[in-house]
A and B are shown apart, each in its own frame.
Chain A
Amino acid sequence: MNKSDSVSSTQLFYIITGAQIGIGIFALPRLVSAHAQQDAWIAVLIGALLPLLSLFIIVNLGRRMPGSNFVTMNQQLFGRWLGTIMIFIFIIYIIFFESTVIRIFSEITSIFLLPRTPLTVIIFTVVLTAVYIMNKGAQVVARLNAIFFWIMIPLVFLGLSALVHADYTNLLPVGEANFKALARSALSSATSYAGIEVLLVFYFFIQQKERILRVGLLSLGWTVSMYLLVTITCLLIFGADFMQMNNWPVLTAFKTISFALFERPEIIALALWLVVGIRPIMNLGFAAVYSLNEVLQVNRDKYFYLSVIAIALPMFILALWPQNLLIAFKWSEYAGYLFFLGGLLYPLLMLAIAVIRKKEIDNVG
């Protein structure tokens, strides 16, 4: 592991929140209130159980296998060939997931900011930025996450000013949704916590491993708070029914405010949202690039950029594939379901094998 890959545990906070809070937050209120109506915020809370479980599994897994990184861990648990295949499956999962993120991000940019620019060009700029950043190593990725996090904070306050239109009756009555509706909404909200699996790769970059659990919980807490804030604000302003009519209720909420100087804060919010939206792409993308690099044993200093391009190119092509926004939404739904596999089942499987083969590994390692 290069010196340029060491990441501090504080930076891990920014990385995990960066990998999770991306473009999904715009449509989140609509998705969760589709079934749960005004109890959408309860669904957001319930959905948080999934990444919580993931976090515990990954931290436990990491504790059992000290000194190995993501690649060697897979190879030790599954054997050399199956392990390599599992790594490739993980990489392909990340490529697919991020390509849907890139696509939806570019679509939003196209609709609101640049209607006549070809989508290909917008997607290319996103991918180019991600390539540029990923090329520089984990340290830079971590530092940028920190900067972007603090740039996002004023945006949150800006959005909160829309609460002048709040109507508390939109949240009542509480607890009306039946179990089935809550479960379906919780499922949608759980998929928006995708990104926790970035910890699988970044676990091994961090020196102080004993702080990882605490930082992980803090970052999950932050993500949940953000999602709750956004959902409750949109519910208060619009009510569950009206939200279904808008693709991105958060942006519509920005449209309802207007100040003397900024007559259209939603445009500013969107211009800054690139900064937020690129975080999952660069975090998870870097995880994939690093794993690919290690698996293929490529020389880090000279040919790292080849691995970056090897990951970025399929992302670019896949992002272009869906023919319209509705298909892109469908893809993003599938990617969300894949998160259950990649973010929960995969670490669970590894943990199970690690427990079962504990004696063997202790003898070997």
Chain B
Amino acid sequence: MSGKINLLITLLIALLLSGCWDSRGLDKLAFPLAGAYDVHSHDSADIHDPSTKPSKNLIDVTVLVPNLTPKAQTEINVETLSGTSATDVRQQRGLTDADAYVIGMLRVIIVGEKLAERGLNKYMDALLRSADIPGTVYFAVAAGRGEDILKTPEKNYGNMGFFLIGLFEGMKQRTFVPVGTLVDYFNQSPGRNPVAPILERKGDRVIVNGAAVFNKDKLVQKLNVEEGHDLVLLRGIKAHSYQPFEAKHGNMRHWGSALVTNSRKVQYYHDQQGHNFMITVKLKGVLAEHSHSVPITEKHIHEIENTIEKTLQDQFETFIAKMQNDYKVDCIDISKYALAKNRRDLEKEVDRPEFIQNANIQVKVNVHLENTSEAR
């Protein structure tokens, strides 16, 4: 009796295991490394593509896929399709592509400038909702169209996808640019506004050319590289790079740079005049380059430190003035300190432009150079 039941159970199990529903052979997959979202433009999509339904708000989705077939003519395949939403385009790819797309391999998402100005949340929801996409996907804004960035031919680095991944991965160790991932973008709780680097195609190269400031999901301002530098230091994104300085000392002009790591502290207090923030930016590092060939004394190092402090102070104050009067959005992530004191009352207020406009923000810079490296 027991033997027969065992047999029955084994047969039942064998029957149920007979369908491998989720297995997908590696050879039938395509791995998009990077994707770009843009507003629709008539020249971008291939004329042979399936006709999209006529609709006012179309977006273009470009993906960059390395070609796995050994005898393929090109190493990568960059394709643009138009649709009403990201998933609409995914469905259309089923009509043109032989391989299934593994969305989970995406590493970089680039958003075109004009699309970012419209507000991204409605287009990027598929990325948040999909269980496949990791949170560590890098996020950037393109000056112009994202499609152009992906279609730039890349000679030195394999393909544009690997180039972009490599670019973002080490960025914090090389320069003061705000690099963020999708998780940083999607976290738009009260008081938080994402920032992203700006990629620009110059001729046949793609370079990072500044930072983008968002008000929740809308792009409000593009900053150039120097302003992006200030943004990173004020926002407290830990990075490691060169801070140049220049000073007049009598008739002599010194210049050089220091290799520093930055950090910041923010103090907040609230009084009758309103919200007061005191930001202290600390730079700690070593002297990297100096135009003067005389051995440096302690006094000299202090002077260099003071020079840097003063230059940065002026830069920061200009930046903050612009932030309060022009952009009117908290891009340096200080509202969270106000919320830390009084979350319930301020939750609704911090996102209003008046909050940052009327806040009293002061900056202090503190530079500490530990040594002069090898040379004196």
State if A and B touch, Cβ cutoff 8 Å. Answer: yes
Residues of B within 8 A of A153 (CB): none
A256:B342 contact, CB within 8 angstroms: no
- Indicate with 1 or 0, residue by residue over A175-209, a CB within 8 angstroms of chain B CB atoms: 01000000000000000000000000000000000
The minimal Cβ–Cβ distance linking A185 to chain B, given in whole angstroms, is 15
The minimal Cβ–Cβ distance linking B90 to chain A, given in whole angstroms, is 14
Find B21's partner among A114, A165, A245, A258 (CB 8 Å cutoff): A114
A173:B342 contact, CB within 8 angstroms: yes
A255:B183 contact, CB within 8 angstroms: yes
B22:A115 contact, CB within 8 angstroms: yes
A5 to B58 CA separation, bound complex (whole angstroms): 66
A256:B340 contact, CB within 8 angstroms: no
Residues of A within 8 A of B114 (CB): none
Residues of A within 8 A of B48 (CB): none
Q: How many residues of B contact A (CB 8 A)?
A: 27
Stretch at the interface among B37-45, B60-68, B127-135, B249-257: B127-135
Q: How many residues of A contact B (CB 8 A)?
A: 34
B343:A176 contact, CB within 8 angstroms: yes
Residues of B within 8 A of A113 (CB): 22
Stretch at the interface among A10-18, A51-59, A236-244: A236-244
Known: A38-B343, A116-B21, A176-B344. Contact between A239 and B134, CB under 8 A? no
Query: Which interface residue of B19, B22, B104, B343 has the most chain A CB atoms within 10 A?
Result: B343
A264 to B22 CA separation, bound complex (whole angstroms): 18
The minimal Cβ–Cβ distance linking B195 to chain A, given in whole angstroms, is 15
A216 to B190 CA separation, bound complex (whole angstroms): 42
A242 to B128 CA separation, bound complex (whole angstroms): 12
Residues of A within 8 A of B19 (CB): 121
A112 to B104 CA separation, bound complex (whole angstroms): 11
The minimal Cβ–Cβ distance linking A322 to chain B, given in whole angstroms, is 20
The minimal Cβ–Cβ distance linking B58 to chain A, given in whole angstroms, is 27
* A257 CB–B CB distance under 8 Å: yes
Known: A112-B131, A167-B336, A258-B134. Contact between A242 and B342, CB under 8 A? no
- Indicate with 1 or 0, residue by residue over B23-57, a CB within 8 angstroms of chain A CB atoms: 00000000000000000000000000000000000
The minimal Cβ–Cβ distance linking B191 to chain A, given in whole angstroms, is 9
Residues of B within 8 A of A118 (CB): 21
Residues of B within 8 A of A111 (CB): 131
The minimal Cβ–Cβ distance linking A41 to chain B, given in whole angstroms, is 15
Known: A173-B340, A245-B128. Contact between A114 and B22, CB under 8 A? yes
Query: Which interface residue of B186, B188, B189 has the most chain A CB atoms within 10 A?
Result: B189
* B209 CB–A CB distance under 8 Å: no
* A124 CB–B CB distance under 8 Å: yes
Residues of B within 8 A of A264 (CB): 104, 134
A124 to B13 CA separation, bound complex (whole angstroms): 9
A303 to B49 CA separation, bound complex (whole angstroms): 65
B134:A263 contact, CB within 8 angstroms: yes
Find A242's partner among B131, B136, B186 (CB 8 Å cutoff): B186
A113 to B128 CA separation, bound complex (whole angstroms): 17
Query: Which interface residue of A115, A118, A169 has the most chain B CB atoms within 10 A?
Result: A169
* A128 CB–B CB distance under 8 Å: yes
A245 to B189 CA separation, bound complex (whole angstroms): 10
Residues of A within 8 A of B224 (CB): none
Residues of B within 8 A of A37 (CB): 343
* A117 CB–B CB distance under 8 Å: yes
* B339 CB–A CB distance under 8 Å: yes
Find B22's partner among A117, A124, A241 (CB 8 Å cutoff): A117
Residues of A within 8 A of B181 (CB): 256
Known: A239-B189, A241-B189, A256-B181. Contact between A172 and B136, CB under 8 A? no
A47 to B13 CA separation, bound complex (whole angstroms): 42
**A-facing residues in B99-153 (Cβ within 8 Å):** 104, 128, 131, 134-136
Residues of A within 8 A of B190 (CB): 241
B21:A124 contact, CB within 8 angstroms: no
A252:B22 contact, CB within 8 angstroms: no
Known: A173-B340, A239-B189. Contact between A121 and B183, CB under 8 A? no
The minimal Cβ–Cβ distance linking A345 to chain B, given in whole angstroms, is 35
Find B136's partner among A112, A124, A170, A257 (CB 8 Å cutoff): A257
A354 to B340 CA separation, bound complex (whole angstroms): 51
* B96 CB–A CB distance under 8 Å: no
Report the nearest A residue to B104, measured CB to CB: A264
A242 to B21 CA separation, bound complex (whole angstroms): 34
A36 to B35 CA separation, bound complex (whole angstroms): 38
* B187 CB–A CB distance under 8 Å: yes
Known: A255-B136, A258-B134. Contact between A242 and B343, CB under 8 A? no
- Indicate with 1 or 0, residue by residue over B185-213, a CB within 8 angstroms of chain A CB atoms: 01111101000000000000000000000
- Indicate with 1 or 0, residue by residue over A230-264, a CB within 8 angstroms of chain B CB atoms: 00000000111110010000001001111000011
Residues of A within 8 A of B339 (CB): 169, 172
**B-facing residues in A6-49 (Cβ within 8 Å):** 37-38
A84 to B342 CA separation, bound complex (whole angstroms): 56
Report the nearest A residue to B266, measured CB to CB: A169
B186:A169 contact, CB within 8 angstroms: no
The minimal Cβ–Cβ distance linking B170 to chain A, given in whole angstroms, is 14
- Indicate with 1 or 0, residue by residue over B152-190, a CB within 8 angstroms of chain A CB atoms: 000000000000000000000000000001010011111
Interface residues of B (CB under 8 A from A): 13, 16, 19, 21-22, 104, 128, 131, 134-136, 181, 183, 186-190, 192, 336-337, 339-344
Interface residues of A (CB under 8 A from B): 37-38, 111-118, 121, 124, 128, 165, 167, 169-170, 172-173, 176, 238-242, 245, 252, 255-258, 263-264, 266
Task: Identify the 7 closest CB pairs spanning chains A and B, nearest first.
Answer: A172-B340, A241-B189, A255-B135, A256-B135, A117-B21, A169-B340, A258-B136
Query: Mind listing 12 A-B residue pairs with CB under 8 Å?
Result: A114-B21, A114-B22, A115-B131, A121-B19, A172-B341, A238-B187, A239-B192, A240-B189, A242-B187, A245-B128, A256-B135, A257-B136
Sample of 7 more A-B contacts, CB < 8 Å, known A115-B22, A176-B343, A176-B344: A112-B131, A169-B340, A172-B340, A242-B187, A242-B189, A255-B136, A264-B104
